[in-house]
Every structure is written in C-alpha cells, then in structure tokens.
Amino acid sequence: MTHTDRPDPAARLRHAFAAADSSSRLQAALAAGTDPEPDQLTVLVDQCALEPDFFVRDMLTWALTRHPEHTVVPLVLAQLDRVEPQARSQALHTLSKIGDPATWSAITPSLLHDVDDEIARAAWRAAVVLVPSGGEGALASELAAEFGRGGRDVQLSLSRALVALGERAAPAIDAAATSGEEAARTHAVATGRLLEDPDEGFESAIFEARRLVALGP
C-alpha cells in the first residue's frame, strides 16, 4: 500500500472502534490520546455516544482532554443537544474533566434535574467543578431540590456534590432538612452530617438521619 492509499487518521480510528473486543477499543482510545490528531476529534466525540464499555468511555474522555480546549469544547458542547442520553451524560463528564470556566452556562437547570439519573449525576459533578466563585449557594439551592431522589448511588452522588460546595451549601441543606417529604428530609440531614464530618460514611449518616427524622423536631 502506498502512502496515499493509507486510511486517514479518522478512518483508522473509526475502524478500530468497530472492534467487538472492548480491550481493542480501549487501546485505540489510549493511542488516540497518547498521540492526539485533530482529524480524530469528531470520531472520539461520536464514539462517546455509542461506546457501551465504561472504561473505554473514560479513556475517550481522557483522549479528548489531550486536545486543545478551543478545538474540543465546541464539539463536546454540541453533544448536549443530542437525543441519546449517553451522549449528554458523557459530554457532561468530559466538560467536568476539561474544567473550562466558560462552559458553566451550559450546565442548565434542565440538565441538573434531568429525568435520566446518569445525566443528572453527571450534571451535578460538572456543576460543582465549573460553578463560578460566589455561585455556590445558588447552585446548592438548585441541587437541594433533588434531595430524596433515586436509590443509594444517586443519593450519594448528590450528597458528594453538595459537600464539595463547602459551607456555602449549608443554608440550602439545613432548609431541606426541615421541610418537604420524609425521604428528602432524611437525605438532607444525612448530607448535613457529611458536611460537618466528611469522614462519616454515607450509610452511617443515612442511618442516623432516619432516626433523627423519625423522632421529629
């Protein structure tokens, strides 16, 4: 094969991602990040919406962060308008890893309250990374509306996000701990305990919160 007959970088990567073996796709993503080529950017972004393996998706995000922000960020932001939930959740994850403050406006309330748990969790994590200084309290109030949502993993994600905001999240947590449904109050009380003592385990905090809420004021 002559040099001119060789597949272009995008075609090569697309072919590699068609492999049935996830380890082969992982190696392809690793290679794409180790030696980033601009022509492969679109393929990397598109694969984020399709890739079934968690570890490959994480490597895809790493590969994207190896490209200049001004080239990769617009492509990732465009994924937030796609109908596929995975495209949106992975885009949010990637934005949190890039950490460009200019992308804060893309973390909309609709994403923070998305009915899809994975999208909402990714939005919470991204919001905590991207929120501008002074906006922590307002973000905490927005996140507090999700207290009591979902199972253990979803609730743990929300608690971690609020704890990461620090003391400015305390007023929103305290307000939620005294109003609303029992599940939301319990989750808020547990989160307040974690804010005071980050070393306390989530299960322990939830157990104690249930006892306190059951006892009432």
Asked if 124 and 158 count as a contact pair (C-beta separation under 8 A), the reply is yes
Tokens encoding 56: 């490959």
Q: How far, CA to CA in Å, does 99 sit from each of 65, 84, 185?
A: 10, 23, 32
pLDDT, one tens digit per residue, over 13-72 is 999 999 999 999 999 999 999 999 999 999 999 999 999 999 999 999 999 999 999 999
Considering the chain, what is the average pLDDT of its residues? 94
Tokens encoding 13: 């990567």
**Has residue 217 got a pLDDT over 90?**
no
DSSP label at 104?
G
pLDDT, one tens digit per residue, over 97-143 is 999 999 999 999 999 999 999 999 999 999 999 999 999 999 999 99
At 2 the pLDDT is 47
pLDDT (mean) for 181-204: 93
Phi, psi of 151, deg, nearest 5: -90, -165
Tokens encoding 179: 């109003």
Asked if 137 and 144 count as a contact pair (C-beta separation under 8 A), the reply is no
pLDDT (mean) for 182-190: 95
pLDDT (mean) for 199-217: 87
Tokens encoding 113: 């309250």
Residue-range domain boundaries for the chain: 135-217
